[in-house]
A and B are shown apart, each in its own frame.
Chain A
Amino acid sequence: MSVKSFTRGGYPLTENCFDELVSSDGSVRPVAAAIARFIDKHGATELCQRQDQLNQTISDMGVCFTLYSDGNNIDRAWPLDVMPRTIPSTEWQTTSAGLKQRLTALNLFIDDLYNKQNILKDGVVPADLVLQSRNYLAPCQGISPRFGVWANICGTDLVRDEDGRFLVLEDNLRVPSGVSYMLENRTVMKRVFPELFAESTIYPVDDYPHQLWRMLASLSPRHSDVPCIVLLTPGIYNSAYFEHSFLAQQTGIELAENTDLFVEDDIVYLKKLHGKQRVDVIYRRVDDVFIDPQAFRPDSVLGIAGLIKAWAKGNVSIANAPGSGVADDKVVYAYVPQIIQYYLGEKPLIDNVETFLCLDPKQKSYVLANLDKLVVKPANESGGYGILIGPRSTLAEQQQMAEAIKANPRNFIAQPTLNLSTAPTLCDGALEPRHLDLRPFILQGKELYCTTGGLSRVALKRGSLVVNSSQGGGSKDTWIINDEV
């Protein structure tokens, strides 16, 4: 099938980048065949009309995200590109196995860190590096949550290199967000492209809410009753409130703020219309250092006094467990292949992106000498903040970063600038390649579960690698397409 079928004027592949829908020889990949046929038949005008219809659907459905801007909160319509991103199901099977492998190892690692610390004693991961991390929370020492699992919900960012291999870019183990948009993207796309769904075998994504509920329920410390599960949100002005309320609604659990909860005799209760109710599981969407002013930050206005004591006693489960963030430090990230090998005796099914640690003097010198080529990231930020993209930075920005690295080398890592994969994206009426990543969500409680695909985030500016919605990124529906014969 010819590339011209995509745009009629040709589709300009980006040099040294893997394209999700089009091979380097210009032919359409087999998983994208139905989409190519649709465009051949209906043309770009129809595609534009579907994009309009899609935008209208998103605003009718009230799918939005909140930007903090100048002290105000602004609800923005969620950006979704009309062109889906396709992945063959056989490829997804190994990817999803790799993601489960990774989370299993990370949870063994966290449980070890807060208990026996064997991995530190064996010198596989430097002890200083972990114990001095601000994400290592001393009050969690000696605790082992149910099933020994700390990070119950993980959002792992995957990218493809120029050969099309998936690599892990980072693990989000604190309060990963975005899964609601994965679900809503699919709902919207089904309305906009009913014929494409009829024509291909696209794996569904909509069992996530039930899987989430099952995982949370498996954490309940009481066995006899129907568990009382609560999603703890910072409130309606939080940037992720859409997702909090959406997930509560979809899973049928309560959506509560800290003022709806209280602790009495180390038991957590919810203030309900008919009286108080004992809480078994808290799905917290508040950063761990804010959840209990008695245990962590005394200035927190989002916390519940006494929660950590109730948790430590085993009277309530918290997902993700406080202290899980110790493993999503970008410096710890560099050690994940060794961590997998250490606990599971297996080779990682998905590799890391090559990473330079600035705390190592040799690697630091290399980073400082190559700031114009590397991507430098602070160890503990998320949302794409504080990142230096070498090839797109000014000399002044590089100098500023050099100073920051010298002042606190522990806090920085660097990676080569990746040629992130691209996918055809509707831009001003034509299909152009745009870079994208993928955030699947992995659940671990009694069992392991991985979403079918995930949230594809796309950088809407030509050439840009920044996919975060807070910084002008968009999204695509991710289609895992059956390619088994």
Chain B
Amino acid sequence: MLLKSVDNIFWLGRYLERLDDTARLVNATSHLLIDSHKDTQFSWPVLLDVMGLDSKTALANYQLPPDATPEQASIEYAVMAHLISNSASTVSIRHTCSQLKYNARSIRQLIPRDMWEELNKLDIFLQQHCQQPGGRQQRYNLMTEVSRRCQMVVGVLDGVMLRSDAFDLFNIGRHLERADMTTRIMDVMVLQQLQPTQIKRPKFRWTSILNALGGIESYHYYLAHQSGDVDAIDYLLTYADFPRSIAYCLNRVAASAKGLPHSISILQQVHQLQALLKTEPLTELSTEQLHQLIDHIQAGIINLHKVIATPAENLSRAQLSA
């Protein structure tokens, strides 16, 4: 494959996973609200903060439709519009899908016909159905459908794509993004607990997050088979058998990187991230410390991304002239 295509195929994997995980992030909040006491204050802007935005700026002068109902005029509506339907928002599902399409188009020659078709169908579906954030129940179904369609694309790819550098880079992109998004979804929980609130400290349960990540049963399995003091945080960060844990994603990145010319640089970064997970006594972390750890992991993921996306800068001289 062309050197130039590295970036596109890698981002194709990242954007596809980001679509799926953004949908899960939205649904994690639905679960949180369902599972909490009716008077619990939920901080909607946190959802934008965890995506790396300054929620105050993002929500300032938010353009609501002129015929907005009182429900739509709420902060919940604005945050959801920013995450789902506003194509000008860099974290919205519609924007991510446009980016996905752009990258797919750039490397069409690497994409099998069946996957190309599935990507088109995904795009058509999202552009049609994500025009509005919708009410909670409608939204829940829509987000579930978004996740399902993303997985269709991955499934088709897995069934027909040549096992090549492009396939490896796609999978690296997917798992890097997944690790990143799992930390962000965890951060929703952490930041909710750090919110100043007039009422008693909100008691959100990790169960909601685990539900949205499709990991509730395997968490119970984990508890039943693990000795010592463990919790959902250990599980999401270190349980390498759960395919949305950070540990699993890093293993997959390392395994997929082996055949790439710049694998040495990639593996070095992966090891640094793995070391970060091992040194922390996770169950003893305070909420603030957990938030800091998540920040460190995210910084490590950014470094890893840089190494992967710039193979030419991470090759030895001998490799370049080969």
Number of B residues near A (Cβ < 8 Å) is 27
Q: Is the CB of A255 within 8 A of B116?
A: no
Given A249-B113, A275-B322: A256 touches B2 (CB 8 Å cut-off): yes
Q: How far is the CA of A274 from the CA of B165 in the complex (A)?
A: 10
Q: Is the CB of A270 within 8 A of B108?
A: no
Q: Which residues of A contact B1 (CB under 8 A)?
A: 254, 272-273
Which one of B53-61, B117-125, B209-217 contacts A?
B117-125
Number of A residues near B (Cβ < 8 Å) is 23
Q: Does A248 contact B (CB under 8 A)?
A: yes
As a 0/1 sequence over residues 1 to 18 of chain B, the CB contacts with chain A under 8 angstroms (1 = contact) are 111111000000000000
Q: Which residues of A contact B4 (CB under 8 A)?
A: 257, 259-260, 271
Q: Is the CB of B108 within 8 A of A245?
A: yes
Given A61-B120, A62-B120: A275 touches B2 (CB 8 Å cut-off): no
Q: Which residues of B contact A273 (CB under 8 A)?
A: 1-3, 5-6, 165, 260-261, 311
Q: Which residues of B contact A61 (CB under 8 A)?
A: 116-117, 120
Q: Does A181 contact B (CB under 8 A)?
A: no
Could you say which of A254, A257, A273 has the most chain B C-beta atoms within 10 Å of its C-beta?
A: A273
Q: Is the CB of B2 within 8 A of A236?
A: no
Q: Is the CB of B105 within 8 A of A60?
A: no
Q: Is the CB of A271 within 8 A of B3?
A: yes
Q: Which residues of B contact A62 (CB under 8 A)?
A: 116-117, 119-120
Chain B residue at minimal CB-CB distance from A259: B4
Q: Which residues of A contact B110 (CB under 8 A)?
A: 249
Find residues 291-322 in chain B having any chain A CB closer than 8 Å to their own CB.
311, 319-322
Q: How far is the CA of A60 from the CA of B119 in the complex (A)?
A: 9
Q: Is the CB of B320 within 8 A of A275?
A: yes
Chain A residue at minimal CB-CB distance from B101: A62
As a 0/1 sequence over residues 353 to 371 of chain A, the CB contacts with chain B under 8 angstroms (1 = contact) are 0000000000000000000
Q: Is the CB of B3 within 8 A of A272?
A: yes
Given A236-B105, A249-B111: A270 touches B2 (CB 8 Å cut-off): yes
Could you say which of B6, B111, B120 has the most chain A C-beta atoms within 10 Å of its C-beta?
A: B120
Chain A residue at minimal CB-CB distance from B6: A273
Q: Which residues of A contact B120 (CB under 8 A)?
A: 59-62
As a 0/1 sequence over residues 58 to 70 of chain A, the CB contacts with chain B under 8 angstroms (1 = contact) are 0111100000000
As a 0/1 sequence over residues 107 to 149 of chain B, the CB contacts with chain A under 8 angstroms (1 = contact) are 0111101001101110010000000000000000000000000
Q: Does B106 contact A (CB under 8 A)?
A: yes
Could you say which of A59, A62, A248 has the most chain B C-beta atoms within 10 Å of its C-beta?
A: A62
Q: How far is the CA of A257 from the CA of B108 in the complex (A)?
A: 14
Find residues 258-274 in chain A having any chain B CB closer than 8 Å to their own CB.
259-260, 270-274
Q: How far is the CA of A272 from the CA of B3 in the complex (A)?
A: 5
Chain A residue at minimal CB-CB distance from B162: A252
Q: How far is the CA of A236 from the CA of B103 in the complex (A)?
A: 10
Q: Is the CB of B121 within 8 A of A60?
A: yes
Picked from B105, B109, B121, B261, the residue with its CB within 8 Å of the CB of A274 is B261
Chain A residue at minimal CB-CB distance from B322: A275
Given A60-B117, A62-B116: A271 touches B2 (CB 8 Å cut-off): yes
- State how many angstroms separate the Cβ of B317 from the closest Cβ of chain A: 11
Q: Which residues of B contact A260 (CB under 8 A)?
A: 2-4
Q: Which residues of A contact B117 (CB under 8 A)?
A: 60-62
Q: How far is the CA of A241 from the CA of B116 in the complex (A)?
A: 15
Q: Does A18 contact B (CB under 8 A)?
A: no
Q: How far is the CA of A275 from the CA of B320 in the complex (A)?
A: 5
Q: How far is the CA of A157 from the CA of B165 in the complex (A)?
A: 41
Q: Does A441 contact B (CB under 8 A)?
A: no
Q: Which residues of B contact A249 (CB under 8 A)?
A: 108-111, 113
Q: Which residues of A contact B260 (CB under 8 A)?
A: 273
Q: Does A208 contact B (CB under 8 A)?
A: no
Chain B residue at minimal CB-CB distance from A251: B109
Q: Is the CB of B109 within 8 A of A255?
A: yes
- State how many angstroms separate the Cβ of B142 from the closest Cβ of chain A: 20
Q: How far is the CA of A62 from the CA of B6 in the complex (A)?
A: 23
Q: Does A246 contact B (CB under 8 A)?
A: yes
As a 0/1 sequence over residues 271 to 301 of chain A, the CB contacts with chain B under 8 angstroms (1 = contact) are 1111110000000000000000000000000
Could you say which of B5, B260, B311, B322 has the most chain A C-beta atoms within 10 Å of its C-beta?
A: B5
As a 0/1 sequence over residues 238 to 272 of chain B, the CB contacts with chain A under 8 angstroms (1 = contact) are 00000000000000000000001100000000000
Q: How far is the CA of A359 from the CA of B9 in the complex (A)?
A: 54
Q: Which residues of A contact B6 (CB under 8 A)?
A: 273
Q: How far is the CA of A185 from the CA of B108 in the complex (A)?
A: 19
Q: Which residues of A contact B320 (CB under 8 A)?
A: 275
Q: Which residues of A contact B3 (CB under 8 A)?
A: 260, 271-273
Find residues 112-155 in chain A having any chain B CB closer than 8 Å to their own CB.
none
Q: How far is the CA of A18 from the CA of B3 in the complex (A)?
A: 53
- State how many angstroms separate the Cβ of A252 from the closest Cβ of chain B: 9
Q: Which residues of B contact A245 (CB under 8 A)?
A: 105, 108-109
Q: How far is the CA of A202 from the CA of B2 in the complex (A)?
A: 39
Could you say which of B2, B3, B311 has the most chain A C-beta atoms within 10 Å of its C-beta?
A: B2
- State how many angstroms separate the Cβ of A273 from the closest Cβ of chain B: 5
Q: Which residues of B contact A276 (CB under 8 A)?
A: 322
Q: Which residues of B contact A274 (CB under 8 A)?
A: 165, 261, 319, 322
Could you say which of B108, B124, B321 has the most chain A C-beta atoms within 10 Å of its C-beta?
A: B108
Q: Which residues of A contact B124 (CB under 8 A)?
A: 59-60
Chain B residue at minimal CB-CB distance from A271: B3
Find residues 210-267 in chain A having any chain B CB closer than 8 Å to their own CB.
236, 241, 245-246, 248-249, 254-257, 259-260
Chain A residue at minimal CB-CB distance from B315: A275
Chain A residue at minimal CB-CB distance from B320: A275
- State how many angstroms separate the Cβ of B266 from the closest Cβ of chain A: 13
- State how many angstroms separate the Cβ of A352 from the closest Cβ of chain B: 38
Listed from nearest, the 10 A-B pairs whose CB atoms lie closest are A245-B108, A248-B109, A62-B120, A275-B322, A255-B109, A249-B109, A271-B3, A274-B261, A260-B2, A60-B121
Chain B residues with CB under 8 Å of chain A are: 1-6, 105-106, 108-111, 113, 116-117, 119-121, 124, 165, 260-261, 311, 319-322
| Supplied contacts A61-B120, A275-B319, 6 more A-B pairs, CB within 8 Å | A248-B108, A249-B111, A259-B4, A271-B2, A273-B260, A276-B322
- 13 residue pairs of the A-B complex, CB under 8 angstroms, read A60-B117, A236-B105, A236-B106, A245-B105, A254-B1, A259-B4, A260-B2, A271-B3, A271-B4, A272-B2, A273-B311, A274-B322, A275-B321
